Amino acid sequence: MPDAFPDFTPVNLLTGFLGSGKTTLLHRLLQDPALSDTAVLINEFGEVGLDHHLLERIDDTMVLLQSGCVCCTIRGELAQAMRDLQSKRERGIVPPFRRLIMESTGLADPFPVLSTLKSDPVLRHHFKAANVITTLDAVNGLAQLETHGESVRQAAIADAIVLTKTDLTDEPAVARLMQRVRRINPDAPFVDAHGDHFDIDRLLSGASGSGEGAPARSGFYCEEPVSVIGEAGSAHQKPVHSFVMTIDARIDWTAFGLWLTMLLNRHGDKVLRVKGILNIEGEDNPVAIHGVQHLVHPPVHMTGWPSDDRRSRIVFIVDGLDADLIRRSFSAFNRLGLPQPAANITETA
Amino acid sequence: MCSLCGILGSNEHWTDAVARPGVFTRNTERVDRRRERAKRVRIASRILTEFGMTLSDWQGSSFLLSTRTGKTEMVEDLGHLWPLAEKISGRVCDPLSHALIERLEGGGDA
């Protein structure tokens, strides 16, 4: 059977604010036979409410479920928990899982988890960030976004947003929540946890930030022009906002690399997300980029353009940075690498 | 670790996964690789000039970052360039600085 990740086990990060339904979703995941080749890292067994008849204890922190899932708790260092899991897999103590789902605590900024995967000298050779799934409570989510910065950051870096408790509220309320989220994350797909088409396998294997493969379509590269509702002019101005840079001229890769590394070095904690599809000088096919704060995934060479529109499009989700200044800065850098006059950039915000 | 210079090996930086495959692979497209490095040095130095620094190639494998007063650091990839530049120059290298943008928009080489 072909393995999509021959060398690296994809890691799905499950995040969401306190009480947003992470545990309910995890419980569902752990009972699904389709995820028998999945390991799950959680904070506490008790929270998930695992039925002891359905599990076999491996040690104090790790159990094997009848569904085939390996489930372990994070006690202390996350990196150590992952190393233990990897060690037990290598020694055959746990089944050879092909996917890892990691639950982050409700108040956590998910970025350090992604950073650990990338920088740990052991883990980076075995694991690779796949996607970030954020649960959002349809009843309380709007209030949480208004009052808790963590909730905004979790929604901003999500590759997919699972709307929970939609059965406890009405459609207009869900629509308002989705509209609010679109201001800070313009293109992460919404998944209704109570919908008829909820597909766990698809959710986990969807939008990948791992840089593997060369998809013509992938779901997170801002392939379609997105409608972004800017907040700069709204009555309640929020520091976290998104905007799209659409660039008519071709992009010089060298200048782009220097610019983005410089931007992330100085403002990485405020660039919650950058992702885009680039028309690179000298390349026929587009290159997709995807970054979360200081971390940028390896760029992906796509097999073709998703439409006739050959313009580069980069989505930024930023915390308090000036969109116009970012646009001007990029334009000034890009012209250093290109023979022609400055790139024409239009902004949707 | 490189036995010659003692630089610790690390992950390939994302900017080294260049749009043209092979450019940063030593065994193929050597001319392209050298051309790309030269271009990187040229553009980086143009930006660094604004902060009183220059970048030069070192043995086709690393870069040397130098200030006008002679402070020098070896840079492995672009991921290390800007933190080191700020460290040895004692200045904030901000691409969103109005002064920097206006200087670069002014056009041409410094």
For every residue of A298-322, DSSP letters joined together read PPEE-SS-SSS---EEEEEEEES--
Given a contact cutoff of 8 angstroms between Cβ atoms, the answer to whether A150 and A158 are in contact is no
Q: What is the pLDDT of residue A319?
A: 86
Cα–Cα distance measured from residue A291 to residue A295, given in angstroms and rounded to the nearest whole number: 6
- The more confidently predicted of residues A196 and A11 is A11
- Whether B23 has its CB under 8 Å from any CB of chain A: the answer is no
Q: Do A326 and B96 touch (CB under 8 A)?
A: yes
Residues of chain B with pLDDT under 50: 1-10, 108-110
Query: Given the structure tokens 């990948």, which residue do they identify?
Result: A208
Contacts of A328 (CB under 8 A, 6+ apart): B101, B105
pTM listed for this prediction: 0.71
> For residue B15, is it within any domain?
no
> For residue B61, is it within any domain?
yes
A169 plus A281 within the same structural domain: no
Asked if pLDDT for residue A259 goes beyond 80, the answer is yes
Contacts with B15 from chain A: Cβ below 8 Å: 253, 257-258, 261
> For residue A211, is it within any domain?
no
A38 plus A141 within the same structural domain: yes
**Structural domain count, chain A:** 2
> For residue B39, is it within any domain?
yes
A179 plus A55 within the same structural domain: yes
Cα–Cα distance measured from residue A12 to residue A14, given in angstroms and rounded to the nearest whole number: 6
Cα–Cα distance measured from residue B27 to residue A157, given in angstroms and rounded to the nearest whole number: 38
> For residue B26, is it within any domain?
no
Residues A260-276, mean pLDDT to the nearest whole number: 90
Contacts with B10 from chain A: Cβ below 8 Å: none
> For residue B11, is it within any domain?
no
Given a contact cutoff of 8 angstroms between Cβ atoms, the answer to whether A82 and A68 are in contact is no
Chains A–B, number of C-beta pairs less than 8 Å apart: 93
- Among A188, A205, A222, the domain-final residue is A205
Joined together, the tokens standing for residue A133 give 């799934």
Residues of A with CB under 8 A from a CB of B: 118, 124, 253-255, 257-259, 261-263, 265-267, 280-283, 287, 289, 296-299, 301, 321-322, 325-326, 328-329, 331-333, 335-337, 342
> For residue A232, is it within any domain?
no
- Whether B34 has its CB under 8 Å from any CB of chain A: the answer is no
What sections of chain A are H helices per DSSP? Answer: 22-31, 45-48, 78-90, 111-119, 141-147, 149-156, 171-184, 200-205, 253-267, 323-337
Q: What is the pLDDT of residue A204?
A: 84
Given a contact cutoff of 8 angstroms between Cβ atoms, the answer to whether A328 and A344 are in contact is no
A98 plus A187 within the same structural domain: yes
- Phi first, then psi, for residue B32 (nearest 5°) are -60, -40
What's the first-to-final CA gap in chain B, in angstroms? Answer: 36
Supply angle C-alpha A299, A304, A306, rounded to 5: 100
Contacts with B105 from chain A: Cβ below 8 Å: 328, 331-332, 342
Residues A193-203, mean pLDDT to the nearest whole number: 80
Contacts of A47 (CB under 8 A, 6+ apart): A23
pLDDT in tens, A136-160: 999 989 988 888 888 888 898 888 9
> For residue A212, is it within any domain?
no
Angle between helices A253-267 and B30-49 (to 10 degrees): 50
Looking at the complex, report in whole angstroms how far the Cα of residue B30 sits from the nearest Cα belonging to chain A: 17
Residues A211-220, mean pLDDT to the nearest whole number: 38
Joined together, the tokens standing for residue A327 give 């646009």
> For residue B67, is it within any domain?
yes
> For residue B16, is it within any domain?
no
Q: Do A257 and B92 touch (CB under 8 A)?
A: no
CATH number of the domain encompassing residue A267: 3.30.1220.10
Query: Given the structure tokens 């890292």, which residue do they identify?
Result: A41
* DSSP secondary structure string for all residues of A41-69: EES-HHHHT--GGGEEE-SSSEEEETTS-
Cα–Cα distance measured from residue A208 to residue B43, given in angstroms and rounded to the nearest whole number: 32
Cα–Cα distance measured from residue A337 to residue A251, given in angstroms and rounded to the nearest whole number: 8
A189 plus A326 within the same structural domain: no
Cα–Cα distance measured from residue A34 to residue A75, given in angstroms and rounded to the nearest whole number: 27
Asked if pLDDT for residue A340 goes beyond 70, the answer is no
Mean pLDDT, rounded, of chain A:
78
| Residue from the list B15, B21, B94 with its beta carbon closest to the beta carbon of A266 | B94
Asked if pLDDT for residue A266 goes beyond 70, the answer is yes
- The more confidently predicted of residues A330 and A96 is A330
- Whether B91 has its CB under 8 Å from any CB of chain A: the answer is no
A69 plus A140 within the same structural domain: yes
> For residue A281, is it within any domain?
yes
**Structural domain count, chain B:** 1
Contacts with B18 from chain A: Cβ below 8 Å: 253
Residue span of the structural domain in which A256 resides:
240-348
Looking at the complex, report in whole angstroms how far the Cα of residue A74 sits from the nearest Cα belonging to chain B: 26
Contacts with A263 from chain B: Cβ below 8 Å: 95-96
> For residue B8, is it within any domain?
no
pLDDT in tens, A37-62: 888 888 766 666 666 556 666 666 77
Residue of A276, A280, A320 lying closest to A296 (CA atoms): A276
Find the range with the poorest average confidence among A68-72, A293-297, B25-29, B32-36: B25-29
Residues A210-216, mean pLDDT to the nearest whole number: 38
> For residue A229, is it within any domain?
no
Q: Do A336 and B46 touch (CB under 8 A)?
A: yes
Asked if pLDDT for residue A274 goes beyond 70, the answer is yes
Contacts with A270 from chain B: Cβ below 8 Å: none
Half-sphere exposure of A241 (CA within 13 A, CB side): 20
CATH number of the domain encompassing residue A58: 3.40.50.300
Residue of A273, A342, A281 lying closest to A312 (CA atoms): A281
Residue span of the structural domain in which B101 resides:
34-105
Looking at the complex, report in whole angstroms how far the Cα of residue A266 sits from the nearest Cα belonging to chain B: 6
| Residue from the list A124, A265, A297 with its beta carbon closest to the beta carbon of B82 | A265
Query: Given the structure tokens 């796509």, which residue do they identify?
Result: A302
Q: Could you give the percent of chain A with pLDDT greater than 70?
A: 76
Q: Do B11 and A118 touch (CB under 8 A)?
A: yes
Residue of A nearest to B35 (CA): A254
